Every structure is written in C-alpha cells, then in structure tokens.
Amino acid sequence: MMQPFRTEGDSMGQMQVPEDAYYGAQTARAVENFPISDLRFPRQFIRAMGLIKKHAAITNQALELLPPNISVAIQKAANEVIEGKLDDQFVLDIFQTGSGTSTNMNANEVLANRAIEILGGKRGDKSVHPNDHVNRGQSSNDVIPTAIHVAASESIVRQLIPALEELQKALAAKAAEFHEVLKIGRTHLQDATPIRLGQEFSGYAAQVQAGIERLRKLEGPLGELALGGTAVGTGLNTHPEFPRRTIEGIARETGLNLREAENHFAAQGAIDGCVEASGALKAVAVGLIKIAHDIRWLGSGPRCGLGEIKLPATQPGSSIMPGKVNPVMCEMVIQVGAQVIGNDATIAFSGTFGAFELNTMLPVTAYNLIQSIELLATASQVFSRRCISGLEANKEKCESMIEQSLAMCTALAPVIGYDAAAKIAKVAYQTGRTVREVAIESSGLDKAKIDRLLDPRTQTGPEKS
C-alpha cells in the first residue's frame, strides 16, 4: 500500500511529508539530503531540546512575545518530547549540516505540529509556526550547543557519577576485604617487592574517585550555555531578558547549575567545554582500562596463569574448549574504553572546526560526547555488579610466590649495601635458591635478623589504625 502524504512548504518550496509525521518540510528535505548512516541523536539530547523549547515558550509568554494559548500548547508538546513520547519523530542523521540546523528545525516542526493538534488544528496548517513561535528568540547556532551542554551535564550527574560511585565503593570494599592477603608486587611485569592485594585494590578505588572529582569539575564549563547569542553571538532578534529567564527555568527543572555564557562569541565559535569534558571522560576510560586489564591479568589461569584472584564465572568462554571461562567483563570495559578514546579524538578534531562565529561539527560532537558518557556509565555499573563484587582472593597462590621473588633482597640493601644485596639476588637467580637461603649463607647477618628484614608484612608499609 502507498504511504499517504501531506504537502508542506518551506522557503525552498513544497515537500511531501508522511501524513502521520509531526515533522514538516525542512525535516523531510533533510531526510532526503542526508541518508548517510543509522546514527541518530540520543535520548538525552532530544530531552534537552524539549527542555529548551519548553522554557523558551514560557519566557516568551512572560515577555508578551507569544500568545498564551500558543505558548501553553508548545509547552505541552515539549513535555511530550522531554518524556520521550515523540522520539520516533526525530529522524535525522547525525551526519548533516554542521550547525545542527536540520535537527533544530526537526524539533521546531514536531513541536509546532503537535501544538497545532493540541489546539484542535490540522498538522501543517502553520497556525503554530515552527520559526515564528517555537523558535522565537533562538537560532540553531545557540540552541544546539546549549542542548549539548545540558544533555552532557545531566547525563554525567544522573548516570555516570552514580555508576562510578558504585564502582568505587565496590573496589574500596575489596581493598578492605583483601587487606591481609600478601602477594608479590610487579613493575615492568617483573617481580618486585611485596604488596598487599588490598593495597592494589585501594589504588583502583582511588583512580575511580579521582575520575569522579574530574567529572564534578565539569559543572563549570558545561554549565555555561550559549542560549541568547542567536545567529552569531550578538543576540539579534531576542529579548535581553530571554536567555537569563529561559536558562533559569531549565536549571530549576533539571537541578543543574546552569548560567548564560559570559561571552557568546566564544560559546558559539568554539566547543572548548565539550573538548574539556571529553578529555575528562577519556581520563576515566583510561583508568578503567588499567583496572580491568590488571584484574584480567590477576585472574589469569586459573591454573597456569597468575591466578591470584578468582573472577566470577559469567558465561562460557569458548566454543571449542569445554569448561573455559574468560574475563569477559574486563574485556567489555577495555573495549568501551577504546571507544571513548576514539570518541575523544573525534571531539578534539571537531574543536578545531570553530570557524569565526560558529563551530560546524556540532552534531558529531553531540553524538560522541553523549555516547561516551552513557557507555562509561553502563560499563561501570555492569563491571561493578558482575565482576568486582564477586571477586575472591586466592590467598595461597598469592603468598606462595613471595618467597621466590629476587626483589626480596631490596629489604637487605639498607643494612648490607646495594651491591652486596644485588650479589645475593644474582646468586639466588643463578642457583635457583631463594634470597633468604643465600643471605643466611653469605650476608654475615644472623638468621633472626634476616627473617625480620625479609618478613613480607613489614615490607608493605606501616599498618594504618
């Protein structure tokens, strides 16, 4: 059956629009022009667009720039966008005009036609106009960067930070649980001096906590919004009170610390805040890769590897080797980290395309930034629940290798000197004996003193009360 269409017009002429679509001619034109990928703006971005349009309508009504009935209808339609009820109407590809104008008009048309319907009119009759009413006092050039900042801020605060806090607590709990487990430390993947398994995990917990603190600092750059600059940052065609009032409304509804940009030319000509945010996300990703990679190594085996910890079995690991269980959660985190690092490269490159008064890489920046936040949030939560919380220490395996380490001679160096200690390590290696055995034979120290010096517990630092 042929799909029914209606005819709508824009400044370039007439377009056929699906009869049941809320979007209009400009969106339909962009659908034809940009059939590039299956990538679409994420939910958080669409929500942010709804928030902007809703509070713009509230402000414009208060400033007597919109009739109350039209403003209220736009607000009702915007609430549906905020709640995700109209997500299927946001149909445009990420790879489109660099300002995101097509997506701003997609939102304007959807809200206008839904508002028309709420008022009892017919979609496409322009009784609520996408430009004159929904986009009043705005430009794509200030709306899209504002939506990116709002979406990223809300996703970080509501999703990512809570997920990382959960992971940090799980790692800190394991640090306490594993405190009494002694093991050999490793530097350059070679044997080093003893360490507590709990100390290793305290380092992981601290890495995640540092990442959380970096993300909290993004409240500054991401909380600064471009709204009010309109086309080039001068604020042409908007009321002087519009940005402050609208941003205050968005801030109240979201609970975010938002404010108007101090300099609209910087806010629209550059995306430095997004680049900074992506850098912080990359730092979190790099930290998670290190943690996941360490845990993958520590759990290697289970019989022929390090095997110092036991990873929870989540699913079969091989299609050919029965009983094999792989560190799949660690590998998931590492792959997510790789994606975030790649996204950061895209965002950093996008930052270089701020030409004069507008950056023209906004859609791809929005997609990559929000994807990074969401991937890190989900991966952190899953990693915490399906891997970290179920880790067990293999105490016997950990402690069995300490005595074999040549780095045990480090504790002798302050007493007998570096060169003498190095000679003991060399003899131990050549003869296959332990440092303790060779030291008793050749160091000139009595056995009791050697045993005190080579007690691995005393080599892991002072006990904390």
Token output for 26: 């400009």
188 is catalytic: yes
Q: How many CA atoms lie within 13 A of 287 on its CB side?
A: 23
What pLDDT digit, counting tens, does each position of 344-383 carry? 999 999 999 999 999 999 999 999 999 999 999 999 999 9
3-state secondary structure of 260: strand
**β strands within 88-147, DSSP E:** none
What pLDDT digit, counting tens, does each position of 207-252 carry? 999 999 999 999 999 999 999 999 999 999 999 999 999 999 999 9
Residue 204's pLDDT is 98
What pLDDT digit, counting tens, does each position of 382-416 carry? 999 999 999 999 999 999 899 999 999 999 999 99
Looking at domain 405-456, does it have CATH number 1.10.40.30? Answer: yes
From first CA to last CA, the distance across the chain in angstroms is 77
| Domain 142-397 top-level CATH class | mainly alpha
Task: Check: CB of residue 74 under 8 Å from CB of residue 277.
Answer: no
Lowest mean pLDDT among 137-146, 167-176, 259-268, 318-327: 318-327
Residue 31's pLDDT is 97
Residue 321's pLDDT is 81
d(CA 330, CA 295): 7
Would you say the pTM of this structure is higher than 0.85? yes
Amino acid at 448: A
User: Cβ of 240: how many Cβ atoms within 10 Å?
Assistant: 9
In which element (H, E) is residue 359 found?
A: strand 358-359
What pLDDT digit, counting tens, does each position of 412-459 carry? 999 999 999 999 999 999 999 999 999 999 999 999 999 999 999 999
pLDDT of 40 higher than 90: yes
pLDDT of 464 higher than 60: no
Given 188, 293, 350, 400, the catalytic residue: 188
What pLDDT digit, counting tens, does each position of 284-337 carry? 999 999 999 999 999 999 889 999 999 998 877 777 887 788 999 999 999 999
SS3 content of the chain, % helix, strand, coil (to 5): 60, 10, 30
Residue 320's pLDDT is 80
Candidates 156, 137, 163; CA nearest to 48 is: 156
Grade residue 1 by pLDDT with cuts at 50, 70 and 90.
low
User: Cβ of 236: how many Cβ atoms within 10 Å?
Assistant: 10
Task: Report the share of the chain in percent with pLDDT over 90.
Answer: 94
Query: Where along the chain do its domains lie?
Result: 5-136, 142-397, 405-456
Residue 465's pLDDT is 40
Per the listing, tokens 């990559």 go with: 368
What pLDDT digit, counting tens, does each position of 65-114 carry? 999 999 999 999 999 999 999 999 999 999 999 999 999 999 999 999 99
What pLDDT digit, counting tens, does each position of 182-196 carry? 999 999 999 999 999
> Is omega for the bond preceding 456 within 30 degrees of 0, making it cis?
no
Given 37, 318, 400, 442, the catalytic residue: 318
Q: How many CA atoms lie within 13 A of 329 on its CB side?
A: 22
Amino acid at 273: G
**Gyration radius from the chain CA atoms:** 30
Residue 315's pLDDT is 79
55 is catalytic: no
Looking at domain 5-136, does it have CATH number 3.40.640.10? Answer: no
Instruction: Count how many residues are written for the chain.
Output: 465
Residue 207's pLDDT is 98
Token output for 205: 């917990």
Strand partners, 8: 15
Strand partners, 10: 13
d(CA 191, CA 185): 6
